Structure 1
Amino acid sequence: MSTTETPRSAVAEGGATAGAVTGAAPGGESPRLTGRLKLVLVILLVAQFMLAVDFSILNVALPAIGDGLGFSLSNLQWVATAFALPAAGFTLFFGRIGDLLGRKRFFVGSLALLGLASLAGGLATSPAVLLAARVAQGLATAAATPAGLSLLTTSFPEGPLRRRALGINGALMSAGFTTGAILGGVLTDVLSWRWAFFVNVPVALAVVVIAPAVISESRPARRASLDLPGALTVTGALIALVFGLTDAGAHSWASTPALASLAAAAVLLAAFFLVERRVAQPLVPLRTLGRRNVAWGNVLGLLAFATETSLVYLLTLYLQKTLGFSPLAAGVSFGVLGLGTVAGGLLAPRVIAATSTSTALTVGALVQTAFTAALLFLGTSTGPALALLLPATFFGGVGNMLVIVAFMVTATSGLPDSEQGLATGLASMSQQVGITLGTPVMSTVVAGAAGASTPAAVHHGVTSAIAVNAALTLLTALLAATFLRPRRR
C-alpha cells in the first residue's frame, strides 16, 4: 500500500479517512495529517494509554484493597489474576470478532464496558463485586486493545505515517504501564484505592461520546464466518496458560494447579492447530501465522514485554526490600524509565526509516541488554544505587521501546486490511502474555536465589534474576538478527 492510498476498509464503508492523509508534495516531502486524522490519532492513543495504565495501577493499591474489603493475603492475588485471565485469554478471539462485526463498533462498546466496570469496581463493597468488576475490565481490555490497534493500522497507510503512529502508541503503552505504578501510589496515598478505578470513568466516557463522530468504521468488505472450535480452543489454551503462570508465580512451579493448567494449555493449543488445519475459514489462517514477520515478530514482542515489565517488578523489590523505599517513592523512581520509553517511541520510527525493522529490533535489544546488565552492579547504598539505576533504566527503556515499535511494525506489515484485526490481536496477545509471563518467571528466580527475606538476601535474589533478564534480552537480539530479514522502509 502506498503512502497516499486510502485504506481499503474505509473505502468499503464509505469512510471519512479518504483524503485525510495528504499526498507527498512535489519536492518529495513526507505525507502529512489533516486535523481530522490527528483527532482520530489522539482518541485512539488516549484509549490505549488508559488500557496500559490499567495493567499496573492497582499493584501498589493491593494491600489497601485487601484491608478495605477483607481479602485474605492468599486471595489478594486474584485482584490481578481476575483481570489478567480474560485480558490475555480473549484477545485473539475478540480481535477476530472486531474484524467481523466492525472495529469501531467493537471499540466503542468495549470502552463503554470498561467505564461501567471501573465504576462498579470503585463502588465495590465486597470481594465478589470487585472481582466481577475486574473480570469485566479484563474482557473490555481484550476487546478494546486489538480493535483500537486495528483502527490505528487501517486509518494510517503503511509507511511513514503508520510508523509514526505506532511509535507514539508504543511509547504511550509502555509509559502507561509505568504511569500506572506511579498514579496508583499517588491516588491510594492521597485519596483512596477506589480512585484507581474511578479515574477510568471520565476518560472512557469522553472516548465513547467523541469516537463515533470522528472515527470511520473499519471491517473487511466480505464478512467471513466465525471459526467457533478454533476460538474456543485458543481461548481455553490462553486462559489455562495465564492461570498456570500466575499460580506458579504465587506458589511454586511444582504446584499441582500450575502443572495441570500448563498441561491443559499445551493440549488445547495442539487441538487449536489441528482445528485450524481443517476448517475452511480458520480463526488464525496458518498461512498468516507462517509469515516470517508475523511469527517471529510476535515472539520478539512477547520477550520484549516479558523482560521490561518483569524488570520493573525486580526493581520494585530491590527499592523497597533492600533500600527501604516506600511504595510511592519506588513508583516515582520509575518516572525516569517512563521518560526513556517516550524517548524511544519517538526515536523508533526514525531508526526504522533510516535502517530497517530488523535492525531496529536488533539494536534496541542490544541496548536493552547492555543497560539491564549494568544493573548487576547495583549495591546496597542508596546514593550510588540511584546514580546507576536512573540512567540505566532510562536508556534500557529507550532500547526496549525500539524493540516494541519495530515489533508492532513487523507483525502488522504486508497484510491486507481484512487481516489487520487478526494481526493486531496476535500482537496484543503477545503483549499481554509477555506481561503475565515475565513476573512469575523472575519471581521464581528471586525466591530460589534469595532463600530468605533479609535485605542482603533479596539483593542477591534480584541480582540473579536481573542476569536472567539480561540473557533473555540478548536472546531477543540474536533471534531478530537471525530470523528476520531486513525490511527497508
Structure 2
Amino acid sequence: MSVPSTTASSTDAEGATATTPAAVTAFPQSGVRMTGRQKLVLALLLGAQFMIAVDFSILNVALPTVGAGLGFSLANLQWIATAFALAAAGFTLLFGRVADIVGRKRLFLGGMAVLGAASLLGGLATSPEVLLVARVLQGLATAAVTPAGLALLTTAFKEGPLRERALGLNGALMSAGFTVGAILGGLLTDLFSWRWAFFINAPVALLILALAPSVITDSRPTVRPKLDIPGAVTVTGGFLALVFGLTQAGETGWTTPATLGPLLAGVALLVAFWSVEKRAATPLVPVRILKRRSVIWGNTAGLIAFVTETSLVFLLTLYLQEVLGYTPLTTGLAFGVLGIGTVIGGTLGGRAVGRYGNRATIVTGGAVQAAATLALAALGTSGAWIWLLLAATFVGGIGNMLMIVGFMVTATSGLPDAEQGLATGLATMTQQVGITMGIPVMSAIAAARMTALGDTGPHGVLSGVTVAILVNSALVLAGSLLAGVFLGRAGRTP
C-alpha cells in the first residue's frame, strides 16, 4: 500500500517535493498498513541489514583470541577490523551508484552471495593472510549490500508513514546489531570458537538468497546512467585514504607521518572529486544533490550520531574491562540494555518524524543522547556505578536512534526513485565513515589525557574516558542543534 495521492506537499527552490508534518499526520500511522508482501520484503531487507551490523562488532571482543589462534602480532591485530572498515567505507558510494546502473536487486543478491562465501572463508582461515582477504571481501560485500538494500527499501515504500516506519525499524535493527554482535561474539568465542563468528553468517545469507529473488522487486532508473570513472576513482581513493589515516591516528597519534600523509591525501582527492563532478557529463554525485540542505545536514547529523555512539561503546568497554575488571563476555552483556534502548528508539523514530518532523526528531534525539552521555562523566571506580551506566546507555540509545531515523528520512527524502541508490549510498557511506572515525578520535582523546597524567592504570583510564565522554556529549549536542538550525522549518527537507 502506498501513501494516498492526496498527501499534501511543499516544493523547494530546486523543485523537490517534501512531505510536511500536516500531510503525514493527516494519514496517521495506524491508518496506513503494509501488505503481506511488503512485510516479507521488509523482513528480508532488515534481516540483511541486521546481519551486516552484527558483522561490524562480532569480532571486537574476540580479536585477542583470533590473533592468538592465527599468529597475528599485537601490532597487526587491528588490521582484522581495519581491513573490513577500509573496504566497507571506501567503496560504499561507488557501489551505491553501481546499484543504479546494474540494478539494485542484482547487486544486493550478488553482495549477499559474496558475504556468505567470505564468511565461510574467514571461518576456515588458517593464516593471517587468508583471514584478511576474507575481511576485505566481507567489507566489499557490505559496501554493495547496504546501499542496494536501503535503495530497495526506500523504493518499496513511498515517502510518508510507511517509509518512515520502515526506516525506523531499519535503524533500530542496525544499531541493535552492533550490540548483539558484541554479545554474540563473546558467547560464540567462549562456548565454541571464534570461527563461529564467521560461520554464523552463512546460513543467514543462504536463506536470504533463497527467498529474495521471488519476493523483492527490482528497481533502477528508466535510463541507465553511465559510470563516472574519474569521480569513482577520486572519491573511492579519498575515502580509503581518510579511513586509513583515521585508523592510524588511533594507533600512532595524530601528528605522525603515518596519520597526516593519508589524511592530507584523502582531503586532496575529495577536493579533486568535487572539481571532477562539477564538470562531468554524468557525475557520480551530481553537485546539485550535494548542495541540498537535506543531504548536507541530514548526513551531518547521521555522521555525528554514529561517531558518538559507536565510540561511546568503545570508551565504556575500556571502563568496564580496565576499571571494573569485567570479562569480554560480561562486557558484551552489559551493553544489552543499550540494544533495548536502540530498538525502542527505532520504533519510536518513524512515529516521531511523522508527527513532529525530521528537524524536531533530530534535535530531540541529540539532546537526549547528549544528556545521557553527560551523566556518564560521573562514573567512578566502584562496581556500584554499573547501574548509572546501564540507565544512561538505555536512555542514550533511545536518543541516538531518534537522531539516526531523522537522519535517514531526511537524507533520502525529496529525491526521485532514480536517485535513491545514490541517496542511500551517501547515507550508508556516512554511517560507515562515522563508525570508523569515532573510535580513533575518542581513543586519541582518552590516550592524550592518560599520557598527560602519566597513568595507564584504572584511575588514569577512568580520567581519560571521562574527558572523552565530555567531548562526546558536547559533539552530539552541537551537531544536532546545528543540523536543526540549517534544516529549517520542521518537517521540510529543502
TM-score (norm 2): 0.93
Q: Who is 2:292 aligned against? A: 291
* Residue 373 of structure 1 pairs with residue 377 of structure 2: no
Shift of 1:486: 2.9
* Residue 174 of structure 1 pairs with residue 142 of structure 2: no
Alpha carbons 2:2, 2:157 under 8 Å: kept: no
Alpha carbons of 1:389 and 1:25: their partners in 2 closer, same or farther (altered >3 Å)?
closer
Alpha carbons of 1:244 and 1:406: their partners in 2 closer, same or farther (altered >3 Å)?
same
Return the alpha-carbon distance in structure 1 between the equivalents of residues 245 and 292 of structure 2. 29
Alpha carbons of 1:101 and 1:377: their partners in 2 closer, same or farther (altered >3 Å)?
same
Return the alpha-carbon distance in structure 2 between the equivalents of residues 214 and 189 of structure 1. 37
- Please tell me the residue identity of whatever aligns with 1:475: A
- Please tell me the residue identity of whatever aligns with 2:412: T
Return the alpha-carbon distance in structure 1 between the equivalents of residues 491 and 245 of structure 2. 40
Q: Who is 1:158 aligned against? A: 159
Q: Who is 1:478 aligned against? A: 481
Q: Could you say what the CA RMSD is over the residues aligned between the two structures, in angstroms?
A: 1.6
Structure 2: which 5+ residue stretches go unaligned?
6-24
Alpha carbons 2:29, 2:161 under 8 Å: kept: no
Structure 1: which 5+ residue stretches go unaligned?
6-23
Q: Who is 1:11 aligned against? A: none
- Please tell me the residue identity of whatever aligns with 2:488: R
- Please tell me the residue identity of whatever aligns with 2:402: L
Return the alpha-carbon distance in structure 2 between the equivalents of residues 474 and 99 of structure 1. 35
Alpha carbons of 1:25 and 1:478: their partners in 2 closer, same or farther (altered >3 Å)?
closer
Shift of 1:244: 0.2
Return the alpha-carbon distance in structure 1 between the equivalents of residues 28 and 249 of structure 2. 59
- Please tell me the residue identity of whatever aligns with 1:274: S
* Residue 456 of structure 1 pairs with residue 442 of structure 2: no
Among all aligned residue pairs of Structure 1 and Structure 2, give the percentage whose two residues are the same amino acid. 63
Alpha carbons 1:25, 1:31 under 8 Å: kept: no
Return the alpha-carbon distance in structure 1 between the equivalents of residues 38 and 268 of structure 2. 45
Shift of 1:2: 6.8
Map 1:140-151 onto structure 2 (within 5 A).
140-151=141-152
- Please tell me the residue identity of whatever aligns with 2:401: M
Return the alpha-carbon distance in structure 1 between the equivalents of residues 469 and 28 of structure 2. 49
1:254-293 Cα shifts (integer Å, max 9, x gaps): 1212110001001100110010010111000011111100
Shift of 1:351: 1.3
Q: Who is 2:81 aligned against? A: 80
Q: Who is 2:419 aligned against? A: 419
Which of the numbers 468, 472, 477 marks the counterpart of 2:471?
468
- Please tell me the residue identity of whatever aligns with 2:192: L
* Residue 388 of structure 1 pairs with residue 391 of structure 2: no
Q: Who is 2:114 aligned against? A: 113
- Please tell me the residue identity of whatever aligns with 1:238: F
1:352-373 Cα shifts (integer Å, max 9, x gaps): 1221100000010000010000
Q: Who is 1:400 aligned against? A: 400
Alpha carbons 1:163, 1:409 under 8 Å: kept: yes
Shift of 1:487: 4.1
Alpha carbons 2:341, 2:395 under 8 Å: kept: yes
Shift of 1:37: 1.1
Alpha carbons 1:30, 1:160 under 8 Å: kept: no
* Residue 441 of structure 1 pairs with residue 441 of structure 2: yes
TM-score (norm 1): 0.94
Return the alpha-carbon distance in structure 1 between the equivalents of residues 28 and 306 of structure 2. 40
Alpha carbons 2:29, 2:162 under 8 Å: kept: no
- Secondary structure at the aligned position of 1:40 is classed as helix
Q: Who is 1:361 aligned against? A: 362
- Please tell me the residue identity of whatever aligns with 1:246: T
- Please tell me the residue identity of whatever aligns with 2:170: N
Q: Who is 2:431 aligned against? A: 431
1:81-138 Cα shifts (integer Å, max 9, x gaps): 1100010000000000001100001000000000000000000000000000000000
Return the alpha-carbon distance in structure 1 between the equivalents of residues 34 and 362 of structure 2. 27
Return the alpha-carbon distance in structure 2 between the equivalents of residues 477 and 64 of structure 1. 38
Shift of 1:480: 2.1
- Please tell me the residue identity of whatever aligns with 2:147: P
